[in-house]
Structure 1
Amino acid sequence: MDNLAFEMHEDAKQNAVSAGKMNATSRMEMKRQWSLMRIFLVCLLACTITTAVGVLILSLVYVNHSQPRSEVHLGLEALQTATIPVVQKAVDPKFQFLNHLPKSKVFEFPGGAIQWARYRNNVKDYVSIEEEAFGSSLNRQRSQMTLGTLRIKSNGLRAPHWHFNANEHGYLAQGTAWIGVVDDGGVVTTYNVTAGQVIFFPKNTVHWIKNVGNEDCFFLLFFSTHDELQTLDVDDVFFSTPEDIASRSLKPEGGINFIRTFRKQKEDQGVNLPPNLAELVVNATYVQSADSQVWRYFYDLKGSKEYQFPGGVIQLAQYWKNRSELSNNEKIFSEFLNQHQNALSLSTLRIYNNGLRQPHFHFNANEMGYVISGCAQVGIINTQGTTEFNIHIGDVVFFPTGTQHYIKSTCDEDLLLILAFSTEDQLQTLDMDDYLQATADHILAQLFFKKQSEFKKIPKFKEDQAINLP
């Protein structure tokens, strides 16, 4: 008897084998079709790219022939400007020590103007790369110095304000002003200053300056910081204070409604001069406080002792360890200055025509100077070599601590500089002739390869040659 089950199994196996062969054949066929499709797509893409490139070339040729030559040239220049970085020119090393302040930005206010020789946190705030080099040098050397010029119109007011991070020292070069200072006990000190006198405001002390003369006041202001100066004006504080807080603090008649009558001006009132000032102020008085108060914040530099040299004159507003030659009022200033950390010392330096402030350096202070009149040649000798440049009215110079420098007057008129030094102690200075005279002849002979007797040719002067005149 035939086994039907076996026969059925065999048939199924054969059918399965046949189906497998058919499936394999189908897969191979589909694979060939997909390969042909990929070849077709690649060819289509290549044709598309070729066509696009051809159209672009034809377009460029058409543009080249249809546009004027000048336009094509300008287009190429614009392309170059957009893609090629601009290489900054090298900054002359002298601008580490020199700032042409008259070329700097003028900050205009209703009552005057301010210009700065200072460090900026944002490099975009510098007018030029030369100004940036000077500001960066002040900051890098930790100079404790910033300089600003303040011009106040007649009847103008430098609004009451204070500085968070610096003492302020001012020299009045022109005009007459009335000063007000409010100390930490709420005591108000007011006094008058004229050209040639010095003012001093300790850090975080509220103060104001009012022009009470007919001509502009022109101040040179030095601040004891090498960082961005931080200042707050009283009007800005008032308008930033919530109305209810201001009302409760001041307790004015009318309460909060009175506070709401104040309107903030659109224009910064840092140096203020309202057009209707005569309507606002009647019978103003400019009183002088007692000397014991005034001389903490004031010094009569033009009336102080003159240190005479063959080639010029120096006067100093500084702390003196030996105060025997000071007046009682000058002693008050000297002591008060010494009590404030990072205060500055001020000086005027007058060099006659062809006079030389001989090479010297300061042990304990950076130096910053402003040219009031005349012109000069300046030399700076440091570890990088010697840098020489000329200075004129309005220029600012900077000499880091320990850096040997000299100043030679080159104009017919006297050179007059106002100088600031970053020390609240007595300034310590050493001149070239002093340290060479103090060095033994045999040491100099060995150093310069000259006979010891040769150094007898360098004379010793009875008169100090700090400012020399042949």
Structure 2
Amino acid sequence: MDNLAFEMQEDGKKALSMGKITTSSKVEKKRQWSLLSIFLLCLLACFITTAVGVLTLSLVYVNTKPHFEQEASPPHTMVPQGQKTVDSKFQFLNHLPKSQVFEFPGGAIQWARYRNNIKDYLSDEEEAFGTSLNSLRSQMTLGTLRIKSKGLRAPHWHFNANEHGYLVQGTAWIGVIDEGGEVATTYNVTAGQVIFFPQNTLHWIKNVGHEDCFFLLFFSTHDELQTLDLDDAFFSTPEDIASRSLKPEGGINFIRKFQKQTEDQGVNLPPNLAELVTNATYVQSPDSIVWRYFFDLKGSKEYKFPGGVIQLAQYWKDADELNSNEKIFNEFLHQHQNVLALSTLRIYNNGLRQPHFHFNANEMGYVVSGCGKVGIINTERTIEFNIHIGDVVFFPMGTQHYIKNTCDEDLLFVLAFSTRDQVQTLDMDDYLLATSDHILAQLFFRKQSEFKKIPKFTEDQAINLP
């Protein structure tokens, strides 16, 4: 940058050396006045430059500030007043009786599941549960199916899940169509028994009793379940394609006689059923094929504990204790990927299913009767909540949890586990007793001798009593 004062001084030196500077006072005053003018001019220039700089920075700040405020809180977004935070327990709890009831002519279905469209949830709590199932890859969805007397769950199949069902109430006739349609396996089930339908296997359920059938259905997917009913597939097929495929008497005119009902026939019960169907028979197929899709859970071995009973419909590595029919189910189950294990858990009054966790499975349960308290212990905290009939609970793999009966009657659960192998479980008393007492003493700052006070019982305390 050019400095005028410096240049003037340099010129003065040159003039002096050349003898051209006069010593008159008039010239000296003019020279002093010129230097003062130059100084004032430089001072003014500095002031103007500073003012311009400050103004520029202010304008930049003013223009930039709204941009950051928009990122933090959009000025046009209104935050709802009094919006409540969803209780964290609803990641693990679903009040199924409060969910949407899907009504059909022959019955009803309710769901505890993940939904692709967030608008399909009825509440924030239901959304929290569905999101938890999906984000933790639970490999489980639960539905309840109620079928009226003579009602029919239409023949259908599921694209993305195996299905395991537990009949809570009623009597039903089941049909399963094998690959190629060469074999139709049919059989009857009563309360307490289990049914199994592999993925993409066409099947139906017909209520053949006088009371409603009530099923608990577990599906091996944490995504939205994909299902196609036989009537929907039929009416979605062009008439000429259906006629050419079936070759019925009357050709395409026969196909055109079928009319799609305005009401969904997922659970079907025509008002004129008596004139449509006569002399229906409910055939029982040979045991050798029935037991691939059926397990008599209520008649299976009971694992008894001081505070309750457990029964299991799962794959057993050592199948020696199974009867010949149960071995058929055991082997068939293990041939399929992404199947589930089913169990009933009965806890007596004041009984406790002690804290435990599963190495190899997520767990989902439905409360059939009674009431209780559930605790879930994860890396952040312990979450406790009460449970009642119709509630669904979810325990992620490896998460320690416990269940206590708080009613006078038995607390009965139907449970599903996301594994095709034998369920692997570790209870609190087992892992504490298996840990060296000197390790526990060092960890808890207690004398080693104190851990001798934890007794080892001859009877398994998985479900204990005080």
Equivalence for 1:394: 390
- 1:366 maps to what in 2? 362
Alignment partners' CA distance in 1, 2:364 and 2:401: 12
Offset at 1:188?
A: 0.5
Aligned residue in 1 for 2:80: 86
Render the CA deviation track for 1:309-356: whole Å, top value 9, x for unaligned.
Answer: 000000000000001100000000011111110000000000000000
Structure-2 residue corresponding to 1:384: 380
- Counterpart check, 1:323 vs 2:310: no
Shift of 1:282: 0.4
Could you tell me which residue of structure 2 aligns to residue 223 of structure 1?
Answer: 219
Letter in 1 for 2:126: E
Query: What is the alpha-carbon distance in structure 2 between the residues aligned to residue 323 and residue 84 of structure 1?
Result: 62
* Alpha-carbon distance in 2 for matches of 1:123, 1:395: 21
Which deviations, in whole Å up to 9, do the C-alpha atoms of 1:376-422 show, x marking residues without a partner? 11000001210000000000000000000000000000000000000
User: Corresponding residue for 1:308?
Assistant: 304
Distance in structure 1 (CA, Å) of the matches to 2:370 and 2:128: 25
Q: Residues 217-255 of structure 1: CA distance to partner in whole angstroms, max 9, x if unpaired?
A: 000000000000000000000000011110111111111
Q: 1:144-163 to 2 correspondence within 5 Å? A: 144-163=139-158
In the TM superposition, what whole-angstrom CA distance separates every residue of 1:417-451 from its partner, at most 9, and x where no partner exists? 00000011100000000000000000000000000
CA distance in 2: counterparts of 1:387 and 1:327, whole angstroms? 41
Provide the residue aligned with 1:277 in structure 2: 273
Give yes or no for the alignment of 1:105 onto 2:93: no
Match of 2:455 among 436, 453, 459: 459
**1:249-291 alpha-carbon deviations (Å, 9 max, x no partner):** 1111111110010000000000000000000000000000000
Match of 2:228 among 232, 254, 264: 232
Give the alignment partner of residue 293 of structure 2, picking from 285, 297, 302: 297
Matched with 1:200 is 196
Equivalent in the alignment of 1:57? none
1:164-175 superposed matches below 5 A? 164-175=159-170
Q: Deviations over 1:75-105 (max 9, x none)?
A: xxxxxxx984315310000000000000000
Q: Aligned partners of 1:448, 1:84: CA distance in 2, in Å? A: 51
Matched, 1:442 2:438: yes
Distance 1:93 1:84 in 2: 25
Q: Secondary structure at the match of 2:206?
A: strand
- Amino acid paired to 2:301: K
Selected match of 2:415 from 412, 419, 442: 419
State the AA in 2 paired with 1:366. N
Question: 1:349-372: CA deviations, max 9, x gaps?
Answer: 000000000000000000000000
State the identity %: 85
Deviations 1:185-205 (A, max 9, x none): 311000000000000000000
- Equivalent-residue separation in structure 1 for 2:250 and 2:107 (angstroms): 34
Alignment match, 1:22: none
Q: Give the 3-state SS of the residue equivalent to 1:293 in structure 2.
A: helix
| Partner SS for 2:429 | helix
- What's the offset of the Cα at 1:308? 0.3
1:182 matches 2:177: yes
**CA distance in 2 between partners of 1:363 and 1:334 (Å):** 21
Q: Which runs of 5+ in 1 are unaligned?
A: 1-81
Q: Which residue of 2 aligns with 1:8?
A: none
* Matches of 1:180 and 1:86, distance apart in 2: 51
Please give the per-residue CA displacement for 1:100-148, whole angstroms capped at 9, x wherever unaligned: 0000000000000000000000110000000000000000100000000
Alignment partner of 1:260 is 2:240: no
Amino acid of the residue matched to residue 465 of structure 1? Answer: Q
Alignment partner, residue 118 of structure 1: 113
Distance in 2 (alpha carbons) for counterparts of 1:296 and 1:328: 12
Q: TM-score scaled by structure 1?
A: 0.82
Say if 1:362 and 1:83 are closer, same or farther in 2 by CA, change over 3 A: closer
**For this pair of structures, how many residues does the alignment match?**
389
1:334 aligns with 2:330: yes
Structure-2 residue corresponding to 1:139: 134
- Structure 2 distance, partners of 1:83, 1:211, is 53
Once superposed, which parts of structure 1, at least 4 consecutive aligned residues long, lie more than 4 Å away? none
Greater Cα shift, 315-324 or 83-92: 83-92
